[in-house]
Structure 1
Amino acid sequence: MNAIFEEIKEAIIDGDEELAVELAEKVVAEKIDPVQAVQLGFIKGIEEVGKSWTNGEAFLPDVMMAADAMKAGMDVLEGVLAAGEGEGSYEDKGKIVLGTVEGDIHDIGKNIVGALLTAAGFKVYDIGIDQKAEDFVAKADEVGAKILAASSLLTTTMKSQKVLVEYLSDQNIRDNYKVIIGGGPTSKKWGDEIGADGWAETADEAVELCKQLLN
């Protein structure tokens, strides 16, 4: 049994998305404990990559490939995990809805943040680019996320971050979520001005911010 967990771990470290999916399907088909597969396979693998990144031994493409492999494999296991199968319970560090705000179609920065958050053990739901305030909230409600992470790469679309915070207030649900913002033209001053719960200049800072907000 341990052999497959080791294989999953190596697949994540190698960023092998196809193999991660194949092994996850094997876990389901052979009724192997999915919680153990996550904890001893997927999480061990992504932790290794995270440590290598911190130590300067891995590079951003490695992290992003590992995150993609983990996401693909975890998607296969989601059904059995949700059904409560397996010994113990799988607890992720928190759920985050991530997206680029309405009017903005940039996604490289957002994708990097998503990869590093995944590597840190968060469950990230990336809703993509050009997303309205309602889209962030709809996804958060669907998956039970507590953090909304809104990216803007243009000065002209920064106002959509403000719109998100205002939308939550207008709907009387502001206290239900933590809103964090980021992106090239944004700043801590802007975050404070619009009433966001936090601002991160870099992807690394976004990870630390999410850890603080969910503690």
Structure 2
Amino acid sequence: MDSKGGGDKQVQLSVRLDDETMAALHQEGELMGDCDIEQTVQRRLAEGLLMAIVMGAKELVWRPIHRDSGTLVVSVPAAVRDELDHCAETWGYDRDVVVATVLSNSICKPMAVVAREGRSYAVSPVMGASQIRREPGRGNIYPVQFFLPGYQLVFVRMLAGAFFDKAAIIEEALLALAKQVVRGDPVRGMPAAEDAQAFARRMVTLAGPRFTSAGEAAW
């Protein structure tokens, strides 16, 4: 889906994204302070395509279009769309594959992104006691690191949006799990241990009324 045009005219371009690429682009967008993923994709296509052309087709890790890939429509300059078409014809791939490859290859990262990543790694402190903070009614707040599948990371990011940070969404999910335990429901097919049940009740109590619906008041 796109419209024809030349020069600086903006055209609509359909971009096919799998979960892994989508997750990586969301992380890149957060690093760069982008307002949405469209801005991240626009930067990649405008600058990353130039990197791909300079490096040459043989240096790229070609990205197939997965059957379950989602579609994102973004606005790009017509010149970028035309250059994508030219590269697709020259390299012998569909344009969707060229786009997916530019968006997923590390060598296609814009230099501003590479520089920001370098500064981020350089100043990131090692997790320790200095990062622990205390909040009234919630106790100590600890920094954590963990890994999520790409589709889950995208889901959390989409739920958070512009109103919440990812930690708030994960906290909501953990509270829902605690409520499940309080109801006596199994977790992954197994009953929760007594100490876990006791702690789940404490979590629900600490969460306060805003997390408790009328149907749950009898807990």
Question: Which is higher, the Rg of structure 1 or of structure 2?
Answer: 2
TM-score of the alignment, normalized to the shorter chain, above 0.5:
no
Shorter-chain TM-score tier: under 0.3
Q: TM-score, normalised by structure 2?
A: 0.24
Determine which structure has greater relative contact order: mean sequence separation of CA pairs < 8 Å that are 6+ residues apart, divided by chain length: 2
Q: TM-score, normalised by structure 1?
A: 0.24
